[in-house]
């Protein structure tokens, strides 16, 4: 059995609405998720079930109300739920990648450098980082003429592919993919599916949200169902 790369234990998360008199809305309760190396688990369930909340909590953007989030980092399981900010940053730098639905980058930075910066920050020489980035952008059907242009001017689909390039170029051991093909046509969906499969073959553990049934069937090893708490039986 491949090693466990990510797991949650009795994970709970809710939100307190301070402008509504401190009303607390529970979203996740008792979540126990286990993902092995080389496995893609797709979160399933209706809108409001907490899929996006779980993804953001796994990445440490949301703090938990209870439970643990364990990520294999340098051979040891580290609890993001109780980790200090420096440890979380180290995890994100070396181990845990996240592709959100939206690209957020510094304005006026060319697309090539937006992606290459990920490799440069990990110690790769600038020329080699840009070479690898060029190859990846071309594979994702971002034409060479756009590589020197800031992606803020790109279409939604082009921005999403730049975002995917940033997330996939570093070969993180654990990846979180939030609707990775939402704005893409069939041709580019096929490219992303092949890249996700290659990542799995390298041993990457992946948690994804994917509403495209065809893409879900192509990448998922299994589904992890979530239900809104008020509907859970």
* CATH code for position 53: 3.40.50.300
In a domain, 232, yes or no: no
In a domain, 19, yes or no: no
Domain that residue 162 falls in: 4-13+25-225
CA-based nearest residue to 31, from 57, 5, 3: 57
Q: Please state the pTM of the whole predicted model.
A: 0.93
The rounded distance, in Å, linking the Cα atoms of 215 and 212 is 5
Check residues 211 and 221 and name the one with the higher pLDDT.
Answer: 221
CA-based nearest residue to 210, from 200, 219, 221: 219
CA-based nearest residue to 42, from 221, 231, 233: 221
In a domain, 135, yes or no: yes
Does the structure show a pLDDT above 50 at 183? yes
The rounded distance, in Å, linking the Cα atoms of 132 and 112 is 10
Residue 27 CB contacts under 8 Å (≥ 6 apart), including other chains: 13, 14, 15, 50, 53, 229
Range from 17-26, 52-61, 190-199 carrying the lowest mean pLDDT: 17-26
In a domain, 87, yes or no: yes
The rounded distance, in Å, linking the Cα atoms of 61 and 108 is 26
Our count of domains for the chain comes to 1
User: In Å, how far from its chain's centre is CA 191?
Assistant: 17
In a domain, 18, yes or no: no
pLDDT in the model for residue 100: 87
Range from 100-104, 150-154, 186-190 carrying the lowest mean pLDDT: 100-104
In a domain, 128, yes or no: yes
In a domain, 20, yes or no: no
Token pair, residue 77, equals: 């399981």
For a pLDDT cut of 70, what percent of the chain falls above it?
97
* Cα three-residue angle 159-126-191, rounded to 5 degrees: 35
């Amino acid at each position: 059995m491949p090693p466990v790369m990510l797991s949650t234990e009795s994970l709970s998360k809710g939100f307190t609405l301070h402008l509504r008199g401190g009303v607390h809305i529970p979203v996740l309760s008792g979540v126990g998720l286990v993902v092995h190396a080389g496995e893609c688990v797709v979160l399933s369930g209706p809108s409001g079930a907490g899929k996006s909340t779980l993804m953001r909590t796994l990445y440490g953007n949301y703090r938990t109300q209870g439970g643990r989030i364990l990520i294999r980092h340098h051979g040891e399981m580290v609890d993001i739920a109780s980790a200090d900010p420096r440890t979380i940053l180290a995890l994100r730098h070396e181990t845990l990648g996240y592709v959100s639905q939206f690209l957020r980058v510094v304005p006026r930075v060319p697309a090539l450098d937006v992606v290459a910066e990920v490799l440069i920050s990990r110690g790769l020489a600038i020329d080699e980082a840009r070479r690898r980035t060029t190859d990846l952008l071309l594979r994702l059907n971002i034409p060479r003429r756009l590589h020197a242009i800031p992606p803020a001017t790109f279409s939604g689909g082009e921005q999403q592919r730049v975002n995917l390039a940033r997330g996939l170029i570093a070969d993180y051991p654990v990846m979180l993919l939030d609707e990775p093909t939402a704005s893409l046509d069939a041709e580019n969906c096929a490219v992303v599916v092949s890249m996700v499969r290659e990542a799995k073959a390298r041993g990457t553990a992946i948690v994804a949200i994917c509403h495209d049934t065809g893409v879900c069937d192509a990448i998922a090893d299994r589904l992890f169902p979530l239900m809104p708490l008020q509907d859970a039986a």
